[in-house]
Amino acid sequence: MDNKHKNSVRAKQDRAGWYFLTPATLLIAIMSFYPIIQALLTSFKTGSSAAMTWAEPITFNYARMFQDRRFMTAVGNTFLYLIVQVPIMLILAILLAQLLNNKDVKFRGLFRTCIFLPCATSLVSYSLIFKSLFATQGLINTILVNLGILKENFNFLGTPWSARMIIIIALVWRWTGYNMVFYLAGLQGIEYSVYEAAKIDGANGWKTFWHITVPLLRPTIIMTFIMSINGTLQLFDESVNLTSGGPANSTITMSHYIYNNSFGQGVANFGYASAMSFFVFILVAILAAINLKVGDKRD
């Protein structure tokens, strides 16, 4: 085959590739990048959705965020959930994955399914289930009173610290199985001969886990950390459906507050909501970059 014919075939293949890529590229540009650019421009505007004008000064919405006590409360709540819930959830997930990866454990498939099932539950449904469980006349109060742990029913959802803890418990219950699946997949990619060699060298279970399992799972751990951080910083359903942001906005999250400013408080303040959304985007990007930097152990 001469060079001219080769170049012709290659050119046809290149064109065919672009023909297949063009529809997807256009859809991504129209449905993703264009709204992002529009939202960025909107974040520099003020006024109602029907009559928005450029802010004076242009950074008015961004400066307003740091003077808004309710938004600062939302930021604090979101980071509380992040700092407490994410490590607990991921540690439980990796320990369960290690346990259920053991060939000697019977009914492994059943246990894996049971632990993963909460993840398949609707976000709204499971929030409402936890709301009914921890209600003043709910099942948890009934059990605690009957066991003598509580003298009388306690208003879990009406007390700030307990309401936050319930959100954390709900998040751990729902997402632990989801992350466990990733760790199971990673563990099954590790050759069993590696563990046999460690056992021959005299390594116990803890040393094997810490010096072999964790280093080999590092890429998966980094991925789940980034996904969990991203999800927690955008936490919405639990705050809305479980506690409604209360009591007195003590459990409200950043996404919940953004929603209230966009659709939940009468006149939509899209400019301020867009500015807060980009603040969340920057936080996600920074924390993801830190995770990648800390977790990258390549020379």
Query: What are the residue ranges spanned by the domains of the chain?
Result: 3-42, 69-295
pLDDT recorded at residue 4: 60
Query: 101 pLDDT band (50/70/90 cuts)?
Result: confident
Q: Which two tokens stand for residue 132?
A: 């009914």
| Domain 69-295, CATH number (from 1.10.287.130, 3.30.479.30, 3.40.50.1580, 1.10.3720.10) | 1.10.3720.10
The pLDDT of residue 145 is above 90: yes
With beta carbons less than 8 A apart as the criterion, state whether 166 and 81 touch: no
pLDDT recorded at residue 299: 47
The pLDDT of residue 298 is above 60: no
**Residue whose token pair is 């809305």:** 240
Quickly count: other Cβ atoms within 10 Å of residue 229's Cβ. Answer: 18
Considering 15-19, 47-51, 121-125, the range whose residues carry the highest mean pLDDT is: 121-125
186 vs 298, residue with greater confidence? 186
The dihedral through the CA atoms of 252, 256, 257, 261 has a sign that is negative
pLDDT recorded at residue 3: 60
199 vs 23, residue with greater confidence? 23
- Burial class from Cβ neighbours inside 10 Å (0-12, 13-18, 19+) for residue 33 reads exposed
Nearest CA to 168 out of 110, 242, 260 is that of 242
Average of per-residue pLDDT values in the chain: 87
Query: 297 pLDDT band (50/70/90 cuts)?
Result: low
Residues 6+ apart with CB under 8 A from 144: 150, 154
Query: 2 pLDDT band (50/70/90 cuts)?
Result: low
With beta carbons less than 8 A apart as the criterion, state whether 283 and 230 touch: no
pLDDT digits (tens, 9 = 90+) for 283-296: 988 988 888 787 66
Query: 179 pLDDT band (50/70/90 cuts)?
Result: very high
- Please give the Cα distance from 161 to 164 (Å, whole number): 5
pLDDT recorded at residue 210: 82
Query: 193 pLDDT band (50/70/90 cuts)?
Result: confident
**Residue whose token pair is 């398949």:** 120
Query: 146 pLDDT band (50/70/90 cuts)?
Result: very high
Quickly count: other Cβ atoms within 10 Å of residue 295's Cβ. Answer: 14
Average pLDDT in the 168-189 region?
92
pLDDT recorded at residue 82: 94
- Please give the Cα distance from 16 to 14 (Å, whole number): 5
Average pLDDT in the 258-267 region?
80
pLDDT recorded at residue 105: 81
pLDDT digits (tens, 9 = 90+) for 198-207: 777 777 777 7
With beta carbons less than 8 A apart as the criterion, state whether 228 and 175 touch: yes
Query: 166 pLDDT band (50/70/90 cuts)?
Result: very high
First to last CA, the chain: 45
Average pLDDT in the 224-250 region?
90
With beta carbons less than 8 A apart as the criterion, state whether 217 and 187 touch: yes
Residues 6+ apart with CB under 8 A from 74: 249, 252, 253, 254, 256, 257
Q: Which residue pairs, CB below 8 angstroms and at least 24 apart, start in 209-217?
A: 209/98, 213/98, 213/187, 214/94, 216/186, 216/190, 217/94, 217/183, 217/186, 217/187, 217/190
